Structure 1
Amino acid sequence: MTQPRPVVGTPDEYDLTDPNRVPWVLGTHLHPEVGPLGRAPPGSRVCMIEAHGFARRKPFHHHKLTLVFAAMRHFRDELRAAGYEVEYVRAETFREGLATYFERHPDDTLVAMRSPSHRSGGRFADLVDAVGGDLDLVGNELFCSTRAAFDEWADGETDAFRHESFYRWMRRESGVLMADGGPVGGEWNLDADNRAVPPDDWEAPPVYEPERDDLTAAVSEWVAAEFDTWGSTDGFAWPVTREDALAALDHFVAERLPEFGPYQDAMRADDPAMAHALLSPAVNLGLLHPWEAVTAVEDAYESRADVPLNSAEGAVRQFLGWREFVRHVYRHAMPDLAEANRLGADRALPDAFWNGETDMACVGGSVADVYERGYAHHIQRLMVLSNFATLWGVDPAELNEWFHATYVDAYHWVTTPNVVEMGAYGSGVFATKPYVASANYVDRMSDYCGDCAYDPDRTTGKGACPLNALYWDFLDRNEDELRSNHRMGFVYGHVDDKREDGELDEIFQRVSELRSMERDGDL
């Protein structure tokens, strides 16, 4: 397997041969070969701080906290077994943990990779300074590209914040799925081939579920007792060790990758996993490097006849393209992006996002999936949950908080571009139009509508799908902002027709009914 490190751009050069230059391994940097830990001599001292205060700030999913704390403790034990001297400090806050560490080792300089979350590097530097310690922040190598490489490219690129331009640049620079200077197969992006709906007799490939060991079970019980969590306390099945993360990658490539491409955007009420990789929790913790996933997918495509190009390209686009893209957008667009609200949406998140109590099969089913596993795949996130919330008029910041708390793979740098910008069209930094849709999309791409109490073919009247009336209401109330968008001209022609024939008045009445139903818990 290729050495896990950024392949677009040059990683920082620094030295850890001095025993007092000590790797500080954060809870999302759990890779033994990357960053300061990868440069430290075997047997070196390592700092890890398990801070608990963040977990009390919001009702995080039980599985998310179990995942983070179990993975950290496993990593600690694995390093100790390999001969490292791990100073593992459990504390309420990072400041308390750092104070304890420097009381024990006052001559050390901690060396840590920058976290991708906004201003985290500055905050950590301030905390270390406040307790009288020293900190050296270095580049985060748990991505495929460096900050400097992106900034240099973006400086002369008019479409730097358009994913397609970025993705093609990453493909060219990395050489992934390239041949004779162009993309393998002649097309850069096969998204149009990722939208098939599986036949009724299609069976999703098996999901890899690692065995839950005693340490993870103990962490799960401790999390339930210690914190005010949301979500099921049963059924935890995410990799918490490097070994299990590599096994999950192998399983995806061997069993699920061939089916991933064609059905990437499809949804099934009884199958939240479909053929998705389910690797984002491990990648975002650092247990897997994204380049390891990219090279495994590319190798499978090149060596196996059963892996179609749309599956390989679709997976590469997620790891090499989208994940890298939102990381760079986030750091350039913050702090404004977190509070962006260009459409002035100010409604509270409906209670159904927390309790799942709604007759809307798509929304209720997707919330139930998140409740059970802390996961629903990207089309459920964008075209069901974010779509409904955006049509409803939910404040993007509140929607972002919900995603951040409830998904096992969610961190602020991940959710903010995906939710505030892509899901809620909050800023315009890269989204060229709102990603909103009526029931027609959900009906076409899923089986939710078949058993739903609401009729996807009706817009008004009792039993009409809420998405339909909310869609036209959304377009009407945001007309001043959206009508001039060149990608919205066609749909606003339909708005004009509905206004002229009086149908909009009926739609407004239906929306008023829906809002009353939601307040009464009857939606």
Structure 2
Amino acid sequence: MTQLRPVVGTPDEYDLNDSNHVPWVLGTHLHPGVGPLDRTPPGSRVCMIEAHGFARRKPYHHHKLTLVFAAMRQFRDELREAGYEVEYVQAETFGEGLATYFDRYPDDTLVAMRSPSHRSGDRFADLVDDAGGDLELVGNELFCSTRAAFDEWADGETDAFRHERFYRWMRRESAVLLREDGTPVGGEWNLDESNREFPPDEWASPPVYEPATDDLTAEVSEWVAEEFDTWGSTEDFAWPVTREDALAALDHFVAERLPEFGPYQDAMRADDPAMAHALLSPAVNLGLLHPWEAVTAIEDAYESREDLPLNSAEGAVRQFLGWREFMRHVYRHAMPDLAEASQLGAERPLPDLFWSGETDMACVGGSVGDVYDRGYSHHIQRLMVLANFATLWGVDPAELNEWFHATYVDAYHWVTTPNVVEMGSYGSGVFATKPYVASANYVDRMSDYCSDCAYDPDRTTGKGACPFNALYWDFLARNEDDLRGNHRMGFLYGHVDDKRDDCEMDEVYQRVSELRSMEREGEL
């Protein structure tokens, strides 16, 4: 079995040769080659607890709960087939599950990797203590960098919470896509500007890998539908729930989809939610894949193939080695304040259309529909359609975060909170240097939604004008005190001033008032 460890920083050193030190494998740590499980002799006892209570707290997507519970049960069976003694406890809460476990094995000490979720380690320690047991927490090895390595680097780095600086540091430390002299392959660190093309009409996206659904997963899907109050489609589940399928999905992405990924990474097509994206984040966030496995597969393919452009390889590496790692470190440093941050004072409730998908706005309705169907839409739909609309509308970032957390199959609090509250809503300012908001012009340029939409992207006011336009200018106006001094946004306020001089802002305010009335009546 291949051992995998963080490549930036020094992993914890320990072993579990004592039979009373037992790996506790959490539902997002489903990798056989990392952490306590990898350091345990074959045939040892392993603890897994399938808690159900969390799934009753939100209207989670049916596919998300199916994915989590099916992957855990598949991993349990794989470990048993490999000779491990898996004590698999099903309970309403972790507390009840731990009480059951320590009633059976009172002398055990559970050893678990730290979950990236805020204060989860403290909560687990308290629960184990209440159950009369012992717990040791060790480093989470399902990332490419350690907490200590980032903290040491960030301590002397004035712009530690700027992704570009972090990403370059990770590339240097890991030597990924790097020349021998330490400079980036191709001469540039970041080829994001080469990721913004829109495909021609004749372009066909590469096929998507969809693993077969076996009996166990089908049974879990039916159980989830009966047991929990879920949101989203109960049909067409097609996510990897085993390590074998996750590795096959990685191979398929690198072989079939990666060459097309780079240029069209930011593009959106109404009938193509996957485009050429990797679709690997659910497997990586469950631990079925290690991010370093994805990084090395991408780099190896770039070095050995002539059909793989650098902007595709670098763009994909940036997601795994850069952004995902960055989100993890930002989250743990900015919590708990980040979860409730709203520096612009946004406090409106989330419009019902995020749940119903009922709107004449083709981009918003289509993106919500994609999430309903599969628990997924790609990152530009998330940022520049859904979060963009919510931010312009003035939605409370925490409520938007709850929606993302519940509805996406790859969503966990540690990853949605910095992405949604900060990047999507400009809630804190911990790393975002401006709000990522845009008018209909962006959506029209980067998608085909507008061609069949009931709203006109070229109009700002009046009946039939795209809501994004009036909402955009209204957002700038109502947040002027906070944003006019932002060096990245000052030029926009020249346009606001012109609109005021021409009395156009009065029409904008009138249009926004109409839009809010339409939303209340379910007619937006």
Normalising by the smaller structure, the TM-score range is over 0.9
Give the structure 1 partner of residue 104 of structure 2.
Answer: 104
What is the Cα deviation at residue 2 of structure 1? 7.1
Is the contact between residue 177 and residue 299 of structure 2 (CA under 8 Å) also seen in structure 1?
Answer: yes
Give the structure 1 partner of residue 393 of structure 2.
Answer: 392
Give the structure 1 partner of residue 258 of structure 2.
Answer: 257
Is the contact between residue 390 and residue 423 of structure 1 (CA under 8 Å) also seen in structure 2?
Answer: yes
Q: Report 1:33-52 matches (<5 A).
A: 33-52=33-52
Structure 2 residue 169 is the aligned partner of structure 1 residue 146: no
Q: Distance in 1 between matches of 2:335 and 2:45?
A: 35
Give the structure 2 partner of residue 95 of structure 1.
Answer: 95
Paired AA for residue 100 in structure 2 = T
Give the structure 2 partner of residue 407 of structure 1.
Answer: 408
Q: Report 1:65-76 matches (<5 A).
A: 65-76=65-76
| Aligned-residue CA RMSD (Å) | 0.6
Give identity over the alignment, percent.
88
Is the contact between residue 3 and residue 38 of structure 2 (CA under 8 Å) also seen in structure 1?
Answer: no
Is the contact between residue 95 and residue 127 of structure 2 (CA under 8 Å) also seen in structure 1?
Answer: yes
Q: Distance in 2 between matches of 1:66 and 1:165?
A: 38
Q: Tell me, what secondary structure is at the counterpart of 1:178?
A: coil
What is the Cα deviation at residue 15 of structure 1? 1.4
Q: Tell me, what secondary structure is at the counterpart of 1:499?
A: helix
Paired AA for residue 161 in structure 2 = F
Deviations 1:245-269 (A, max 9, x none): 0000000000000000000000000
Q: Report 1:54-93 matches (<5 A).
A: 54-93=54-93
Give the structure 2 partner of residue 432 of structure 1.
Answer: 433
Is the contact between residue 2 and residue 295 of structure 1 (CA under 8 Å) also seen in structure 2?
Answer: no
Q: Tell me, what secondary structure is at the counterpart of 2:487?
A: coil
Q: Report 1:51-450 matches (<5 A).
A: 51-179=51-179, 180-450=181-451
Q: Distance in 1 between matches of 2:203 and 2:479?
A: 41
What is the Cα deviation at residue 414 of structure 1? 0.5
Is the contact between residue 116 and residue 414 of structure 2 (CA under 8 Å) also seen in structure 1?
Answer: yes
Give the structure 1 partner of residue 6 of structure 2.
Answer: 6
Give the structure 1 partner of residue 25 of structure 2.
Answer: 25
Is the contact between residue 390 and residue 400 of structure 2 (CA under 8 Å) also seen in structure 1?
Answer: yes
Q: What are structure 2's unaligned runs of at least 5 residues?
A: none
Paired AA for residue 167 in structure 1 = Y
Give the structure 1 partner of residue 477 of structure 2.
Answer: 476
Q: Tell me, what secondary structure is at the counterpart of 1:47?
A: strand
Paired AA for residue 155 in structure 1 = D
Q: Tell me, what secondary structure is at the counterpart of 1:212?
A: coil
Q: Distance in 2 between matches of 1:264 and 1:426?
A: 25
Q: Tell me, what secondary structure is at the counterpart of 2:209?
A: coil
Q: Distance in 1 between matches of 2:500 and 2:407?
A: 39
Is the contact between residue 233 and residue 372 of structure 2 (CA under 8 Å) also seen in structure 1?
Answer: yes
Paired AA for residue 70 in structure 1 = A
Q: TM-score, normalised by structure 1?
A: 1.00
Q: Distance in 2 between matches of 1:376 and 1:33?
A: 30
Give the structure 2 partner of residue 496 of structure 1.
Answer: 497
Q: Distance in 2 between matches of 1:243 and 1:449?
A: 40
Q: Tell me, what secondary structure is at the counterpart of 1:49?
A: strand
What is the Cα deviation at residue 176 of structure 1? 0.1
Q: Distance in 1 between matches of 2:450 and 2:120?
A: 43
Deviations 1:227-281 (A, max 9, x none): 0000000000000000000000000000000000000000000000000000000
Is the contact between residue 2 and residue 33 of structure 2 (CA under 8 Å) also seen in structure 1?
Answer: no
Is the contact between residue 24 and residue 110 of structure 1 (CA under 8 Å) also seen in structure 2?
Answer: yes
Q: Distance in 1 between matches of 2:401 and 2:339?
A: 8
Is the contact between residue 326 and residue 418 of structure 1 (CA under 8 Å) also seen in structure 2?
Answer: yes
Paired AA for residue 500 in structure 2 = R
What is the Cα deviation at residue 410 of structure 1? 0.1
Deviations 1:417-437 (A, max 9, x none): 000000000000000000000
What is the Cα deviation at residue 141 of structure 1? 0.2
What is the Cα deviation at residue 5 of structure 1? 1.4
Q: TM-score, normalised by structure 2?
A: 0.99
Deviations 1:457-494 (A, max 9, x none): 00000000000000000000000000000000111100
Paired AA for residue 143 in structure 1 = F
Paired AA for residue 394 in structure 1 = V
Q: Distance in 2 between matches of 1:71 and 1:140?
A: 19
Paired AA for residue 196 in structure 2 = R
Paired AA for residue 115 in structure 1 = S
Q: Tell me, what secondary structure is at the counterpart of 2:46?
A: strand
Paired AA for residue 348 in structure 1 = P
Q: Distance in 2 between matches of 1:483 and 1:17?
A: 61
How many residues end up aligned between the 2 structures? 523
Deviations 1:285-328 (A, max 9, x none): 00000000000000000000011000000000000000000000
Q: What are structure 1's unaligned runs of at least 5 residues?
A: none
Paired AA for residue 234 in structure 1 = E
Q: Distance in 1 between matches of 2:491 and 2:451?
A: 29
Q: Tell me, what secondary structure is at the counterpart of 2:135?
A: strand
Q: Tell me, what secondary structure is at the counterpart of 1:90?
A: strand
Paired AA for residue 188 in structure 2 = E
Q: Distance in 2 between matches of 1:10 and 1:499?
A: 57
Paired AA for residue 401 in structure 1 = E
What is the Cα deviation at residue 4 of structure 1? 2.1
Paired AA for residue 381 in structure 2 = Q
Q: Distance in 2 between matches of 1:220 and 1:382?
A: 29
Give the structure 1 partner of residue 519 of structure 2.
Answer: 518
Is the contact between residue 2 and residue 292 of structure 1 (CA under 8 Å) also seen in structure 2?
Answer: no
Is the contact between residue 8 and residue 170 of structure 1 (CA under 8 Å) also seen in structure 2?
Answer: yes
Q: Distance in 2 between matches of 1:4 and 1:314?
A: 23
Q: Distance in 2 between matches of 1:116 and 1:14?
A: 20
